[in-house]
Amino acid sequence: MIQRFIVTGGPATGKSSIIEYFQQIGWLCFEEVSREIIQKKNIQTSTKDLNFEVAVFQERKMQFLAASKQHFYDRSMLDGLAYMNLQNITIPKKMLTDLKTHRYESKVFIAPIWQDIYHQDSERLESYEEAIAIDESLREIYHSFGYELVEIPFTSVEERVKFILSQI
């Protein structure tokens, strides 16, 4: 049976560290795709356009379709919608159709904004204030598609992974 578990949240909330730990202990995972696209397109701003969001969505859709059993995802196809909403980009109907057709597990694990670990880098260009807005937008999007958000506690990566596993 294929199960697709999402780990989502705003920028710099520990999602990738959680995914890396899952991989270390033997779980199948799909990593975040937007960093690679940001690097390829040499994007220097936190504001992205429709072409960027479509490219990220397509990569995430390929990850969805590539699942063969139980997988964890560092973000999902839904995350781009949260970013698009914040930038007032009209969401293409094809994306909405795909999201109704391609469903993940109903419990979605969200890493909340955590100021103590927040930092910017060459691909994470959002300010802390933008990260808060992204978090709020993600919560709205996931709820609007009928997903149950489970907040990941502020603790060590190992404890965060144990928490997620206890919920599935």
- Alpha-carbon gap, residue 33 to 75, rounded angstroms: 9
Q: Provide the whole-model pTM.
A: 0.90
For 41-90, what is each residue's pLDDT tens digit? 555 555 567 888 898 899 999 999 999 999 999 999 999 999 899 889 99
CATH number listed for the domain at residues 3-167: 3.40.50.300
pLDDT at 38: 59
Contact present, 98 and 64 (Cβ < 8 Å):
no
According to DSSP, the β-strands at 28-30 and 70-74 are parallel
Listed in sequence order, the residues at least 6 apart from 130 whose beta carbon sits closer than 8 Å to its beta carbon are 11, 46
Contact present, 69 and 46 (Cβ < 8 Å):
no
> Residue ranges per domain, the chain?
3-167
For 150-165, what is each residue's pLDDT tens digit? 999 999 999 999 999 9
- Side-chain-facing half-sphere of 107: CA atoms under 13 Å: 12
Kind and range of the H or E element at 51? helix 50-66
- Alpha-carbon gap, residue 148 to 118, rounded angstroms: 25
For 14-45, what is each residue's pLDDT tens digit? 999 999 999 999 999 998 877 676 566 555 55
